[in-house]
Amino acid sequence: MKNILVFLLSMVTACSVYGQSTEKPYIEVRGMAKIERTVKSYILDIMITEELAYAEEKKPFEEVKKAFFEKVKTTDPGDIIKLSNLMVDKSGTQSITARRVNYLPVKDFSKVIAAAFADGKARAEKMATAIGKKLGPLQAVVDYSTTNDEVEDTAYYQPKDDRYYYLSLKYHVE
Report the CATH number that the domain containing residue 32 is assigned in CATH. Answer: 3.30.110
Closest CA to 121 of 57, 62, 173: 173
Q: What is the pLDDT of residues 141-157, one digit of tens each?
A: 999 887 777 676 677 66
Q: Does residue 56 form part of some domain?
A: yes
pLDDT band at 91 (very low <50, low <70, confident <90, very high): low
Q: What is the pLDDT of residues 159-170, one digit of tens each?
A: 667 788 999 999
pLDDT band at 68 (very low <50, low <70, confident <90, very high): confident
Asked if the model's pLDDT at residue 117 lies above 90, the reply is yes
- Name the domain count of the chain: 2
**Interval 69-93 mean pLDDT:** 61
* 165 shares a domain with 123: yes
Amino acid 101: pLDDT: 77
Q: Does residue 10 form part of some domain?
A: no
* 109 shares a domain with 167: yes
* 146 shares a domain with 115: yes
User: In terms of pLDDT, which residue wins out, 167 or 41?
Assistant: 167
Integer CA distances (angstroms), 123 to 111, 113, 161, in order: 18, 16, 24
Domain, as residue range, for 70: 39-103
User: In terms of pLDDT, which residue wins out, 129 or 8?
Assistant: 129
Query: Residues near 45 by Cβ (< 8 Å), separated by ≥ 6?
Result: 96, 97, 98, 99
Other C-beta atoms closer than 10 Å to the C-beta of 167 total 19
